[in-house]
Chains A and B, each alone.
Chain A
Amino acid sequence: MYNTIAQHLAWLSIWRRKTRSLMVIMMIALSLSGLLGLQGLYDGMISHLINTTIRSDSGEISLYDKKYRLNKSLDYRLTPLSKYKDAFSKMESIEAYSIRLEKEGLIATAHKSLGATLKGISLENEKTFGGLDAFITQGDYSFGKENKNALIGSALAKKLNLNIGSRVIFTAQDLTGEINAISFRISGILKTGNPSIDDHSVFVSMAKMSKFINVHQSATQIALRVKDTENITIVQKELQKLFPDIDVLRWDELYPLLIQMQDWMNIFNLASYAIVFIVAALGIFGVMLVSVLERMREFSIMLAIGTPYKTVRNQIIMEASFLGFIGYMAGAFLGWIFLLYMSTAGVDMRAFEAGLELYGYSAVMYANMHLYYFFQAFFAVFFATLLSVIWPLRKLKKIKPIQVIQGKML
């Protein structure tokens, strides 16, 4: 019953100064909705980067010869492939895998040459593995009628001024150390958002690649997709047991920069929460302090006529909580609308496309939306609310009601 009185008084009291209360509610709502929108967008950007990296290159797990990543020599390759294929077929946790054979070399047109990586792949496998076909921006997802053509990363194509049908020459050392050259036409241009693909990679059929570098039934990388992404570490350990002599690496071990970016983004989110927390706490604190000070006489009367201190205390806490909660609800609703829009329609950042592509971001960014954003925001506002009433309550606790009523103390 005491709390019912406190609730009733608290609710009436916050509307005693409507403009002031509405200003605080708006302040909380706007800062919170902005924060939710930013959090979702940044989260979406990072998720997009991770997702495209996994789909276009690393999978959740990749297998390499132990020395290959330090010295990309064809001597350090995975062979025979049947050993791996047999093992994968027995592991239910593996959804798909892609066998790749790559070699660094020089790609040249009549006017320009650049360092690049030639990758032998199976188009069908890559389609199942990560939907590589979805990254085609020009031309076809095909190596042509006799598998003679190639797909190329968009940034590399741009640097070499290549179009569909352009002919290029790729020069590299084969297994024996001989310098070989291969010529092909471009049949498709890929834009994955993964700089290692877009800036450096050229894809040809596995058969053509094997013949070119004189390597058969081998791979330099086997990338795996894991069915349940929660179990990546378990699958990794299982594979490490099966193949102790090779590197079995998770995507985050292969691309530590992505994790670093994710960490930075988390720090950024934390800082944003701290700002919202401070804004909310200061906003509510200011209002509560003024509100308590200007009603000190009213509270003194309540205490004088026998109202328990806890009822008055609860009333003040509830006033702050109402402001915080209404602000939170309005902010969460606005934030939800922002996130809904940004996660479906996306945010068109084409004006900054060049800069964004440099870091592998998409020009149209899509926000993520998770329930935990709203829980985090709720707790930030909740604690801000509780903190904001501590000082006004301390002030109230110190007063002598009769002196305030008689105007001798405030």
Chain B
Amino acid sequence: MKLNHVYKTFYPDTPKEVKALSDINLTFEKGEFTTLSGESGSGKTTLLNIIGGLDSATSGEIFFEGEEITAYSEEKMAKLRLHDIGFIFQAYNLIHVLTVRENIGFIMKLLKFDAKEIEERILELASILQIEDLLDKLPGEISGGQQQRVAVARAVASRPKLILADEPTANLDSKNSARLMNMLRTLNEKEHVTVIFASHDKYVLEQSKRIIVLDDGVVIEDR
């Protein structure tokens, strides 16, 4: 994933104009475990959304596996997200009418995976994330920490090339945060998935192999 001179301005040419990102130039290699850090309003979530194709850049170029995706249509972008990107949101965001099992297998089903393969993958992830006993429960019947583990399982189930996690530990206690990070780290190492966080959680930063610090929409540090 490569970003060249990416800018993002909200409400351009109006009195409410906000420059959220300015001249972002970044490259993410396969298998990275990176955190976009910074204070609230620094632009880390905006950058994560642009990387994931959930938002568009005002100007600049974005490349995914060598192909420019900046001008992709919404339909093409949705396809890219479905096939190659897994999302973990701050508020878990599971589908409430589906069981844990169905939530984990949701993207695999959309991608027309074989039913047997889906079930095997669900069981494998449930074992890694220690949610085997929750598979037939509805999201409303399990705790926040458990829901976030289900969200992680859903994000990684179809083996996407990139996982984007926006403040995944924000609603979790320290114990559950540690457990979640360990699990993502394991998945990163075992399955070589590229993981990019947007977080200012110290624990997440400690666990990251690379940290990109943003301030007022500008990269001020990349280590």
User: CB within 8 Å of B: which residues of A?
Assistant: 1-2, 4-5, 8-9, 12-13, 16, 297-298, 301-309, 311, 401-402, 405-406
The answer to whether A309 and B97 touch (CB under 8 A), given A5-B110, A401-B54, is: no
Would you give 26 A-B contacts (Cβ < 8 Å), ordered by A? A1-B109, A4-B109, A5-B110, A9-B95, A9-B97, A12-B97, A12-B98, A16-B97, A298-B96, A301-B89, A301-B93, A302-B95, A304-B87, A305-B87, A305-B106, A305-B107, A305-B154, A306-B78, A306-B81, A307-B82, A308-B82, A308-B110, A402-B55, A405-B91, A405-B93, A406-B45
- Smallest CB-CB separation from A14: which chain B residue? B97
Q: Is B159's CB within 8 Å of the partner chain A?
A: no
Q: Is B25's CB within 8 Å of the partner chain A?
A: no
Contact B75 A309 (CB under 8 A): yes
Q: Which of B54, B89, B112 has the most CB of A within 10 A?
A: B54
Across the A-B interface, how many residue pairs have beta carbons closer than 8 Å? Answer: 65
A406 — which chain B residues lie within 8 A by C-beta? 45
- Smallest CB-CB separation from B154: which chain A residue? A305
The SS class assigned to the A binding surface is: helix
- Smallest CB-CB separation from B97: which chain A residue? A12
| Bound Cα distance from A304 to B86, whole angstroms | 10
Which listed residue (B45, B81, B89, B96) contacts A16, Cβ 8 A? B96
| Bound Cα distance from A302 to B87, whole angstroms | 11
| Bound Cα distance from A405 to B54, whole angstroms | 11
- Min Cβ gap B88→A in Å is 10
| Bound Cα distance from A305 to B103, whole angstroms | 12
Nearest first, the 9 closest Cβ-Cβ pairs linking A and B are A306-B82, A306-B81, A12-B97, A402-B54, A301-B93, A1-B112, A402-B49, A305-B87, A306-B78
Q: Is B79's CB within 8 Å of the partner chain A?
A: yes
Q: Is B85's CB within 8 Å of the partner chain A?
A: yes
Q: Is B19's CB within 8 Å of the partner chain A?
A: no
Q: Is B83's CB within 8 Å of the partner chain A?
A: yes
Contact B54 A304 (CB under 8 A): yes
- Min Cβ gap A46→B in Å is 49
| Bound Cα distance from A405 to B164, whole angstroms | 15
Within 8 A of A (CB), among B151-209: 154-155
Interface residues as binary, B66-86 with A (CB distance below 8 Å gives 1, 0 otherwise): 000000001100111111011
Contact B93 A307 (CB under 8 A): no
User: CB within 8 Å of A: which residues of B?
Assistant: 45, 49, 54-55, 74-75, 78-83, 85-87, 89, 91, 93, 95-98, 102, 106-107, 109-110, 112, 154-155
- Min Cβ gap B156→A in Å is 12
Contact A5 B109 (CB under 8 A): yes
Contact B97 A13 (CB under 8 A): yes
Contact B95 A311 (CB under 8 A): no
The answer to whether A309 and B78 touch (CB under 8 A), given A9-B97, A405-B93, is: yes
- Smallest CB-CB separation from B91: which chain A residue? A405
Which listed residue (B89, B102, B110) contacts A307, Cβ 8 A? B110
Contact A306 B96 (CB under 8 A): no
B93 — which chain A residues lie within 8 A by C-beta? 297, 301, 405
- Smallest CB-CB separation from A13: which chain B residue? B97
Which listed residue (B78, B85, B95) contacts A301, Cβ 8 A? B95
- Smallest CB-CB separation from A307: which chain B residue? B110
| Bound Cα distance from A1 to B114, whole angstroms | 11
| Bound Cα distance from A9 to B102, whole angstroms | 10
A298 — which chain B residues lie within 8 A by C-beta? 95-96
| Bound Cα distance from A8 to B78, whole angstroms | 21
Which listed residue (B79, B89, B98, B112) contacts A306, Cβ 8 A? B79
A302 — which chain B residues lie within 8 A by C-beta? 95
Additional A-B contact list (17), CB under 8 Å, known A9-B95, A12-B97, A13-B97: A5-B110, A9-B97, A12-B98, A16-B97, A302-B95, A303-B78, A304-B54, A304-B87, A305-B155, A306-B78, A306-B79, A306-B82, A308-B75, A308-B79, A308-B82, A311-B110, A402-B55
- Smallest CB-CB separation from B54: which chain A residue? A402
A9 — which chain B residues lie within 8 A by C-beta? 95, 97-98
B91 — which chain A residues lie within 8 A by C-beta? 405
Contact B97 A306 (CB under 8 A): no
B98 — which chain A residues lie within 8 A by C-beta? 9, 12
Contact A405 B89 (CB under 8 A): yes
| Bound Cα distance from A306 to B154, whole angstroms | 12
B55 — which chain A residues lie within 8 A by C-beta? 402
Contact A308 B78 (CB under 8 A): yes
| Bound Cα distance from A304 to B89, whole angstroms | 10
Contact A304 B81 (CB under 8 A): yes
- Min Cβ gap A138→B in Å is 69
| Bound Cα distance from A309 to B73, whole angstroms | 13
- Min Cβ gap B48→A in Å is 10
| Bound Cα distance from A8 to B101, whole angstroms | 14
- Smallest CB-CB separation from A15: which chain B residue? B97
The answer to whether A306 and B95 touch (CB under 8 A), given A401-B54, A402-B54, A405-B89, is: no
Contact A306 B83 (CB under 8 A): yes
B85 — which chain A residues lie within 8 A by C-beta? 306
